[in-house]
Structure 1
């Protein structure tokens, strides 16, 4: 009986087994962790824009998920442990990625893609995650508070997204965090009072964000709690809205190697206690703040420093001589402060220094010759101080120098004639606004790397160095305000494809302008005024289509203005004054220059009529001291944009002053003196409310002058030598009746 019952039970179980497998087939592989992960990845892939980086992700290749799917690594061929898809050209969101399908995931790296939308709250389910990098994407909105569930995470990088709002307080739960970078977003700080110390944290970067702490007890200050993160080696809070002094608790961060607090509104002194404790610093960047006080002598204790950037603060006092102890320093920037005294000679000890910037201070004394010992120096910027004496000969030894800026000082004497002899790759040289004299060094530009050269407003003399002709990379050349000599067209090279700004004004250059000047196709400013240039204006100048300023005034130019100047569509300032140009006023040319705002043709021999209507919005027009004749056209009232000057004095104009002149309501200075004008000054001119200076003298005008303060308050000589003017003004009789 017992046997038969056992047989019956066995038969029933067998039947049930057959039934289940027949009608409910069970796919064993679908229950594996890999198949679940593959399904989740394929679903996410389908939501993204097509990318060749995910070509290997195929439903036909699920069994090879761990070995051939791009960016996927597994633990024991069973669980997906790493997803690494940096710079994979992914576009889309994380909304369709099922994080619960990755229970053993330790690494999620999606750096450098175009992912957007919110960071899903479900990311907090990745309980084994130790590395999260979503940097350099377009993620938006808030950091989900669920990120605080990642209890064992060590590395979080959300740099360079569009995240905003407060950082969640739950970040304080991440007690194993070593690297935290939330920089390059628009985040506001959390309530730091809720934060504990991060005992493992070595890298903290909020640079830059918009950290505002005004809603809690720290009033936009650096929280003192950061001083509890004693393992920190990297701290970056640059580019925020932090203010107030550095909390003394930061002196506890004795392991710091890099500290970046630039681009804030931090203030107060740089306390010595910090420098005593931060002896492991490699980089100290406090630039662009409001720090005050002196640079402590303890700065010399930071023997490992490579970068010391304290520029653009309000630091006072001397540069400490102890700075010469920083022998590892490669970049020193103390510019834009209020430092005074001499540059310490100990600066010559900094043999590894490649950048030295001390500009815009109040430094005095000589430039120390020891600067010539800085064999690695590439950038030397000492401009805008009160340095005196000569430029030391030792500067000629700097073979790697690319930038030499000493403008706006009290330097004098000649430039060392060996400067450039060692062919340094000088690209930027500034001698402007000093009292240098003598010739420029003949080999100054022998490295042929020169791009920016400014030596204006000195007492230099003699010819320009011949090597200047071969500096084809020149972009800006300013030599005005000296006593340079030579033929203008032979001194300057003809092949400067990058040249944008050329100013040789107020020198003693001679010769003629040749057609070769048309080769500077990128030139925007050409200033050759106040020289001894002769001949005609070459028609080829009309090829300089990017020209915005053309100043050839105060030379010895003759002939007519070439029609081709009408091709200079970008021109807004044209000054041909004080030459011997003749012919009629080039109305046709001027009418084509739609952007012209300043026009000066004074002190020439032009004939014809006064300029009428133009396409341009002229602000200033000077046609004085010519041989213009006829009447003032009524169309002059159409130049309603005129604001600064209308001067048609010292011509041969006759007839009445047109009442349309009253339309120039913004004009400040009007001069029609020394002509043959007759009749009354129109009452319409009283509408010219902008007038501050007038001159109607030496004409044949008569009758009452217009009402208004500019007329009644004008000096007597503004109306002298006329036929019969009267009115309420100095030197005029009262009108009868």
Structure 2
């Protein structure tokens, strides 16, 4: 990035400006930490003119810079290019340099967009006014919600070709008064996606340059009809109005945009027939019009001249597709989505003609019948994503090799053995079929596998022998099959979800399973596991401290609160279900220290001993099932601290004494406690003195024990701190959150607890 500066050294004034810029920056890569020697033209990211030695370019994009972004660099008199994008600055400093600029700005390229959404805030854009030569401006993901006259500010940039203001939290701008400021006669590209616009699209908005080429207004709340003035943009190449609330029909004149290549009107409220004039858009490469309220039919006439079409999305539509069985489209697609459309019962024959497909989604499209040879050939050659979920396709595909990296064949009627899969596979979902037999030997080579779901088939064999090779695996659902063998000690380190429910696994649960840092959903229920639970230190970090993780959307059959229900898994639910095995021994103290767990089910085992009194520290517990074991002793007083508990089952054990008094415990009916003959107190029968005070404990001793139990539980809850989670933004399906952890000082916690207990009698 640097030139050979053997003759002319950099200007001293420029050097001082750059050092001022450097002052507030934290530089983890050390790129600008080396800005110290005399010649600034040799500094990383700096480019100077070979003759004058003046700085003309500063490019520090994606350099892991943090701290203050000081825009004093705009005072560099000969700077024409400034790129500070994709860094982690947390503050922008804008000096009053307008008064210091006595020259005519030469800056024509400016990119300040941060790596992370909403980490930078800017109150106004007044500082742009001196930058009259600016041609490219990118402020994506900078919070500009306080700037109400942003349109007026950028309209002063008469030379601007390209403007990017994506995800800037901008609000309404499309009013008659604001449109008056729109004087961007040179503008060719405008990206205003992911903002908070809630107005309609007035005709005046499209009085842009006749050469205008690129417009993105997606992911807003724009409503009303699509203005006819849009058709004035004869050179428009890219139009994205998706994810809005647009109404009315598509203008018939849409076919008058002869140069358009990308058209996305999906996920709106558009109505009416699909104009046949769309078929005139011979330059069109990508068409997305799904998820609207269109009616009528689409036939081959709609696509008659779309020779260049490469991507087609008609998903979530109710219009009828009327294609002749022998129709051969004039295009070859690489991407096709017809999910949630009525295609069946026959597989659309025209799709067999598409030889270049990399992405195919025909989920929920009513297909049950396929041409075996053509279908096998089609699905075998798709290298990207193959999604055929929720149809009724049947047959044997065990002799096929599927080369896709994303494979969803769930909720069909496939039988016999599983197909071979490409070593490049990352996502595999074959749940809810009738596959049988063992896992193909070739699956051992799935080095990149991150997600596997084989729930509810008839598969058998020792599948878990492959686990040590699936090092990237994050989500594993093998439930409701006939798999056997033992759980291996070497588990993939990144596992978040482990579901082995309702199989024939046996042997002990290895301690290594409780050292998976990211694990938050563990279901080993209804197997033949035996032995006691490990008493080692449980390193299940995500079950102790809440961490938000990005997780594939996955449907999990969750069994909790005494019943089963389907839920879409997310990192907010922590679950441990070890029920219906042959586990024995005591309930480890380490288990009840997993304070973020919301569902704990140890029922139908052979656990003995007492419930650890520290269980009251599991403050997020919603469902607790310890029924049908051999547990004994009193029910810990600390259970009254579980304020979110909505399901409790302690039935059929050997508990004795009085059920502790507390709002939660008395709210459950007798079925939560039956099968414990020596247990009394509401909601069971009233206690006698003898029942309330077992022979092994005096009343005072039991009272002391209960107090200690609550103290220790409260200490446990405070020791891990608490979290305040404040959602900041949800863009494109990704939630960004700010998590502030408040850690209690361990030296003071017990003192706080003692104070609470001293005050409580007075209250």
TM-score (ref. length: structure 2): 0.68
Equivalent residues of 1:351, 1:375 under 8 A apart: no
Residue of structure 2 equivalent to 1:235:
215
Residue of structure 2 equivalent to 1:247:
227
Equivalent residues of 1:148, 1:173 under 8 A apart: no
Would you say 1:554 and 2:526 are equivalent positions? yes
Deviations 1:153-181 (A, max 9, x none): 6935354355533135486677x757241
State the 1:488 CA deviation.
4.1
Give secondary structure in 1 for the equivalent of 2:368. strand
Residue of structure 2 equivalent to 1:165:
148
Alignment of 1:239-318 (within 5 A): 239-274=219-254, 276-318=255-297
Give secondary structure in 1 for the equivalent of 2:407. strand
Residue of structure 1 equivalent to 2:427:
452
Equivalent residues of 1:553, 1:578 under 8 A apart: yes
Residue of structure 1 equivalent to 2:335:
355
Would you say 1:135 and 2:99 are equivalent positions? no
Alignment of 1:555-594 (within 5 A): 555-564=527-536, 566=538, 568=540, 570-571=542-543, 572-582=574-584, 584-594=585-595
Q: How far apart in 2 are the matches of 1:558 and 1:149?
A: 73
Give secondary structure in 2 for the equivalent of 1:664. helix
Residue segments in structure 1 that go unaligned for 5+ positions in a row: 1-36, 59-64, 73-82, 686-695, 704-737
State the 1:431 CA deviation.
1.4
Q: How far apart in 2 are the matches of 1:639 and 1:346?
A: 69
Equivalent residues of 2:479, 2:501 under 8 A apart: yes
Deviations 1:22-51 (A, max 9, x none): xxxxxxxxxxxxxxx978756755653376
Residue of structure 1 equivalent to 2:406:
428
Deviations 1:365-385 (A, max 9, x none): 333244243222211122234
Q: How far apart in 1 are the matches of 2:638 and 2:504?
A: 34
Q: How far apart in 1 are the matches of 2:413 and 2:299?
A: 29
Q: How far apart in 2 are the matches of 1:196 and 1:638?
A: 64
Equivalent residues of 2:80, 2:109 under 8 A apart: yes
Q: How far apart in 2 are the matches of 1:292 and 1:269?
A: 5
Cα RMSD over matched residues? 4.3
Q: How far apart in 1 are the matches of 2:492 and 2:194?
A: 44
Equivalent residues of 2:306, 2:331 under 8 A apart: no
Q: How far apart in 2 are the matches of 1:120 and 1:206?
A: 28
State the 1:325 CA deviation.
4.2
Residue segments in structure 2 that go unaligned for 5+ positions in a row: 1-9, 24-31, 42-47, 114-119, 544-573, 690-763
Alignment of 1:479-518 (within 5 A): 479-490=454-465, 492-510=466-484, 512-514=485-487, 516-518=488-490
Q: Please say which of residues 232-241 and 133-142 is displaced more in the overlay.
A: 133-142
Would you say 1:389 and 2:362 are equivalent positions? no
Q: How far apart in 1 are the matches of 2:203 and 2:123?
A: 24
Give secondary structure in 2 for the equivalent of 1:353. coil
- Say if 1:666 and 1:183 are closer, same or farther in 2 by CA, change over 3 A: farther
Give secondary structure in 2 for the equivalent of 1:332. strand
Alignment of 1:303-342 (within 5 A): 303-321=282-300, 322-323=302-303, 325-339=305-319, 341=321
State the 1:513 CA deviation.
0.7
State the 1:453 CA deviation.
0.8
Equivalent residues of 2:589, 2:612 under 8 A apart: no
Equivalent residues of 1:44, 1:97 under 8 A apart: no
Equivalent residues of 2:179, 2:204 under 8 A apart: no
Residue of structure 2 equivalent to 1:76:
none
Deviations 1:499-530 (A, max 9, x none): 122111111223x314x343222222221121
Q: How far apart in 2 are the matches of 1:146 and 1:642?
A: 53
Equivalent residues of 2:645, 2:664 under 8 A apart: no
State the 1:203 CA deviation.
0.6
Equivalent residues of 2:635, 2:660 under 8 A apart: no
Number of aligned pairs? 609
State the 1:259 CA deviation.
1.7
Residue of structure 2 equivalent to 1:9:
none
Q: How far apart in 1 are the matches of 2:506 and 2:123?
A: 67
Q: How far apart in 2 are the matches of 1:635 and 1:625?
A: 21
Q: How far apart in 1 are the matches of 2:658 and 2:309?
A: 72
Q: How far apart in 1 are the matches of 2:136 and 2:330?
A: 38
Residue of structure 2 equivalent to 1:596:
597
Q: How far apart in 2 are the matches of 1:619 and 1:463?
A: 37
Residue of structure 2 equivalent to 1:408:
390
Deviations 1:241-282 (A, max 9, x none): 4321111111122221222333433332212211x2012111
Equivalent residues of 1:610, 1:633 under 8 A apart: yes
Give secondary structure in 2 for the equivalent of 1:134. strand
Q: How far apart in 2 are the matches of 1:453 and 1:502?
A: 10
Give secondary structure in 1 for the equivalent of 2:108. strand
Q: How far apart in 1 are the matches of 2:674 and 2:307?
A: 70
Deviations 1:41-97 (A, max 9, x none): 567556533765996569xxxxxx96434566xxxxxxxxxx444548898655686
State the 1:404 CA deviation.
0.9
Equivalent residues of 2:206, 2:229 under 8 A apart: yes
State the 1:304 CA deviation.
1.1
State the 1:310 CA deviation.
3.1
Equivalent residues of 2:271, 2:292 under 8 A apart: yes
Give secondary structure in 2 for the equivalent of 1:279. coil
- Say if 1:196 and 1:418 are closer, same or farther in 2 by CA, change over 3 A: same
Alignment of 1:614-629 (within 5 A): 614=615, 615-617=617-619, 618-628=621-631
Selected match of 2:204 from 213, 224, 227: 224
State the 1:142 CA deviation.
3.5
Equivalent residues of 1:383, 1:406 under 8 A apart: yes
Residue of structure 2 equivalent to 1:524:
496
Q: Please say which of residues 329-338 and 454-463 is displaced more in the overlay.
A: 329-338
Would you say 1:535 and 2:535 are equivalent positions? no
TM-score (ref. length: structure 1): 0.71
Q: How far apart in 1 are the matches of 2:20 and 2:540?
A: 54
Q: How far apart in 2 are the matches of 1:499 and 1:42?
A: 50
State the 1:472 CA deviation.
1.8
Q: How far apart in 2 are the matches of 1:256 and 1:296?
A: 19
Deviations 1:463-510 (A, max 9, x none): 2222112212111111111111223444x4431111122111111223
Residue of structure 2 equivalent to 1:461:
436
Q: How far apart in 1 are the matches of 2:289 and 2:112?
A: 29
State the 1:667 CA deviation.
5.3
Equivalent residues of 1:623, 1:648 under 8 A apart: yes
Equivalent residues of 2:299, 2:322 under 8 A apart: no
Equivalent residues of 1:646, 1:669 under 8 A apart: no
